Structure 1
């Protein structure tokens, strides 16, 4: 390798196309986020049916996480991304035909949800693993910062565009969704990914697929840093999903209009997240990763207890916006350090293992908040969630795993030690 500096990200052709592919794929998903329940409700007149579809989609996504990680580590990232995009383009194209011919039904919507989960589960881990092939380690934080900004923008704009398309004609969001996946596939097809190195954990015989499912879990268990990232994500997701439910309940009980209250809080949080994403790369260059995570953790733990003091939506929005502003920097440095520290041949399995527990914890945040609201005042519940975040900040300060986080400001980092997979033994 020569000593010339790497290309800036905006001039890195392969990174730009991979970024665009992920943006188009995410935009397509968000565009139908509003349209799908409306189409299903119009066809079946049952809110329960939409609940079933949502449950199936979320449940299958979680269930398929570990198998998706194995596929990411066994199959060419480019081929896998293309298959996911083309498969989803076909699925949403066929569903658009069903909408056009007024043939939408619960079984068809459930089938779409399952296909979307099956094809979507490997896409994120494969795109993240491919990112390490087109971006040098010194630019990972910047690349992930732009990824956070992309996610924040798509989350804000996608549902609005989907709703606008639905008002033109109900089938239009699904047509646009299918086309977005085709456009994503076109971008992926032109990305040049380097050849992947050999997997040192493999013996001559490839391990059984089912046995390989737990490889990522074992790697997370033996790494203090990866274990810390799992705990951090699980607690933060649990707390903030609960906090948002409390704020929504407060808005519904207020006199200033629940729709405005809740919409304003969600919008301000999204804007804060977008601005924070754009600043995350700068923060990663200025502060050490451990210092940045600790500052953000303690800041968030200090902001949440201020929520009970809010008397109006502006103050609540300010607090939530500040939380949204700081969160992306922690996400970026942790994600970049994780990408850098995981061996190439384990990217898919370890990433999906790290995402599994936080995904399982998410539903318990609102569930716990709802149970507490039946027994305690909303302000007390918010203080309890603030205490949870304070405990996380204390845990982070003492965590050996966080002390081992790779410094993203270093231009060279030793290669991570590969996991050793013991050969199968039979009695």
Structure 2
């Protein structure tokens, strides 16, 4: 039995990793500079909130069409076009800054165009990862990617702030260059040829499918294919519920803790420590994730993290001392990446190659809509009740999620990628309403 090439020697994986790292670092640097630019231009925090709101709406609206594009067009070309468009938009923005023609309207327009051109990049890169990394290395690959993202989240804002201090134009110029560097990495990729979609069924079945397609146009079928796959697959349904509720609750917890430790009697250092410890914990957790995934089955790992988080968050309400909060934040930040990586790797293995873009986009749709509501809920509860009460309520939500995970049939069906015998997911069949393993879509899709 031949062993797969180590990730460190996998040329395609290293190029894909570098492309993501470069584009993400540039985006993080520009993101921290954007509020500084808006505030210097308009002096209004509301205007910056408007920019973020528009960008969030665009990412949600563009998500499903982006998934269709990723499945219908060569993924490498999709990534190249995304990088090229984003580099062009950033370059135009830099020119506008140099010529003193920046306005709030231009900032919003650039955000909209960047959001649209960025939407296909993530699903395309995720689908490409599955094609260049064998199933038994997916957990390690996602762990390396998670460590990269955690490091960039820590370093990116510092780089952006430092560049902005030298010149307000520099972070956006670096962003444009980062997209060009990412495109160079993508251009050098030589991924294996994509497998052909499942073969057609007999003529009688094809006629029935054609009649259904006539009543349900192809573009509408393409937009809803990912949603139907998630609905028909118990494990994908579980990941959707888990990611939506977990992201909502944890985003609310972070805002609640920041409110507690930025109030009277606190120092700015307290808030900085919270963010730094959380980021460092995620980075350490991503480093430990492969080992934890080898020691525990995916289901046991997800349950262990879910129950520990359900205990740690309410414990934060017991004492508002910064050392206590930092200790609990560190505990939850270190363990969470292992479960996230296990779920992400299992999902990548579960989704058939020709549906990767559409299912990934569909799976991200609900979390993208719900997660921004977490900070809003945290603000309302903190103002009307108290921070400890809010933490207890969010802890209660995590307790319910842990109970749901324990009883979930979908989580029991999570593939264990530690077993090389775990083959590729079964191909979806026309007219299927869902198999016992939940790995089929309601109808054949190409």
Q: With structure 2 as the length reference, what TM-score do the two structures score?
A: 0.91
Q: Name the structure 2 match of 1:13.
A: 11
Deviation at 1:229, TM superposition (A): 0.2
Of 54, 57, 64 in structure 2, the residue corresponding to residue 56 of structure 1 is: 54
Structure 1 distance, partners of 2:37, 2:96, is 11
Structure 2 distance, partners of 1:184, 1:10, is 19
Quickly say closer, same or farther: Cα 1:420–1:111, change in 2 above 3 A: farther
Q: Name the structure 1 match of 2:220.
A: 210
Structure 1 distance, partners of 2:133, 2:187, is 18
Deviation at 1:309, TM superposition (A): 2.2
Map 1:73-152 onto structure 2 (within 5 A).
73-152=71-150
Q: Name the structure 1 match of 2:394.
A: 385
Q: Name the structure 1 match of 2:278.
A: 269
Q: Is the 8 A contact 1:285 1:408 kept in 2?
A: no
Of 218, 226, 234 in structure 2, the residue corresponding to residue 224 of structure 1 is: 234
Select between 191-200 and 156-165 the one with higher mean Cα deviation: 191-200
Structure 1 distance, partners of 2:199, 2:374, is 38
Map 1:254-403 onto structure 2 (within 5 A).
254-257=264-267, 259-403=268-412
Deviation per CA, 1:33-86, whole angstroms, max 9, x where unpaired?
111222222223333322221111111001111111111101111000111111
Structure 1 distance, partners of 2:33, 2:352, is 40
Structure 1 distance, partners of 2:382, 2:340, is 29
Structure 1 distance, partners of 2:17, 2:286, is 15
Q: Is the 8 A contact 1:40 1:104 kept in 2?
A: no
Deviation at 1:196, TM superposition (A): 1.2
Deviation at 1:146, TM superposition (A): 0.5
Structure 1 distance, partners of 2:248, 2:182, is 32
Quickly say closer, same or farther: Cα 1:91–1:421, change in 2 above 3 A: farther
Partner-residue secondary structure (3-state), 2:262: helix
Structure 2 distance, partners of 1:310, 1:64, is 43
Of 253, 259, 264 in structure 2, the residue corresponding to residue 243 of structure 1 is: 253
Deviation at 1:286, TM superposition (A): 1.4
Q: Is the 8 A contact 1:81 1:126 kept in 2?
A: yes
Stretches of structure 1 that go unaligned for 5 or more consecutive residues are none
Of 170, 181, 184 in structure 2, the residue corresponding to residue 183 of structure 1 is: 181
Q: Name the structure 2 match of 1:166.
A: 164
- How many residues are matched? 421
Q: Name the structure 1 match of 2:437.
A: none
Structure 2 distance, partners of 1:152, 1:307, is 23
Structure 2 distance, partners of 1:85, 1:122, is 10
Q: Is the 8 A contact 2:260 2:320 kept in 1?
A: no
Deviation at 1:201, TM superposition (A): 7.9
Partner-residue secondary structure (3-state), 1:21: helix
CA RMSD of superposed structures (Å): 1.8
Select between 137-146 and 361-370 the one with higher mean Cα deviation: 361-370
Structure 1 distance, partners of 2:266, 2:259, is 13
Partner-residue secondary structure (3-state), 1:213: helix
Partner-residue secondary structure (3-state), 2:384: coil
